[in-house]
Amino acid sequence: MAICTSFQAEGMAILDMAWRIDNHVRLFTVDTGRLPQETYDVMEMVRQRYGIEVEVYFPDAAQVETMVRRLGPNLFQKSVQARFHCCNVRKVEPIRGVLEGLDAWITGLRRDQWASRANIRKIEVDHEHGGLAKISPLADWTLDEVKAYNEKYDVPVHPLYAQGYTSIGCTPCTRATKPGEDPRAGRWWWETNAPKECGIHCPVETGAFEHELEALTHSRHQSPLRTVR
């Protein structure tokens, strides 16, 4: 089991909680090659503060080279389809490779972040990634609750929040938001009526929650996370 983070407020809160339970917590992230320097600064703060190794995964260099050669370095601005392609190469595929070796992964998703996340559950079977368990402990938290936790425990904060950013991704695809805008309005802001998702956390189509709970816990003699696979 491992925590996936982009070092935003939610992921940092989960890391802090998990580290207090077990300081050998496993943490991984994806370096797309287009991240802001501030994200690397937070990554280093995490290494120093918690004394843990941050597993950093990168997109396949050959795929990136081919994509940029054919479609240009700023292909994500040309169409929604091109942006999805860029996200898939730089984010989704590297994540998929990591998840193949896990029984469960932990995310910082919250239901009120965006409409596509309104129905996420705290624990579900992730059919998008081979049926492992996907755990979102903060699914029913508000942003104010996340901030309150981080302030209480002096959790490292991404510097771009102080500059008006409310959701942080790759440098060319993220901007600060204006007062009153949706928190994810700064992601791919030039697009019209397009989902504010990169593809990592696409809605997971599953059956009834009772069926999933049974799949996760049906055997007393097996790890609940093993039963999903």
* 114 within some domain: yes
pTM over 0.85: no
Residues 133-158, mean pLDDT to the nearest whole number? 94
Q: Which of 204, 191, 31 is nearest to 109 (CA)?
A: 204
Please tell me the predicted confidence (pLDDT) of residue 112: 74
Q: How confident is the model at residue 126 (pLDDT cuts 50, 70, 90)?
A: confident
| 159 torsion bin: left (phi>0), alpha (psi -120 to 50), beta (else) | alpha
- Going by pLDDT thresholds of 50, 70 and 90, the confidence category of residue 87 is very high
- Characterize the bridge pairing of strands 132-135 and 123-126: antiparallel
Q: What percent of the chain lies above the pLDDT cut of 90?
A: 63
* Per-residue pLDDT at 209 exceeds 80: no
For residue 188, being part of any structural domain is answered with: yes
Residue 81 domain flag: yes
Q: How many domains does the chain have?
A: 1
Residue 223 maps to a domain: no
> Which of helix, strand or coil describes residue 197?
coil
Domain CATH number, residue 23 = 3.40.50.620
Q: Which pLDDT value is given to residue 117?
A: 55
Q: How far apart (Å, rounded) are the C-alpha atoms in residues 163 and 158?
A: 10
pLDDT per residue as tens digits for the range 181-202: 888 889 899 988 777 667 665 5
- Which residue segment(s) compose the domain that 20 sits in? 2-217
- Flag whether pLDDT at 216 surpasses 60: no
Binned at pLDDT 50, 70 and 90, residue 106 comes out as very high
Task: Name residue, tokens 């994200």.
Answer: 39
Classify residue 121: in a domain, yes or no: yes
* Residue at 227 is within a domain: no
**pLDDT tens digits for 19-75?**
999 999 999 999 999 999 999 999 999 999 999 999 999 999 999 999 999 999 999
Residues with catalytic roles: 198
In a domain, 225, yes or no: no
14 belongs to a structural domain: yes
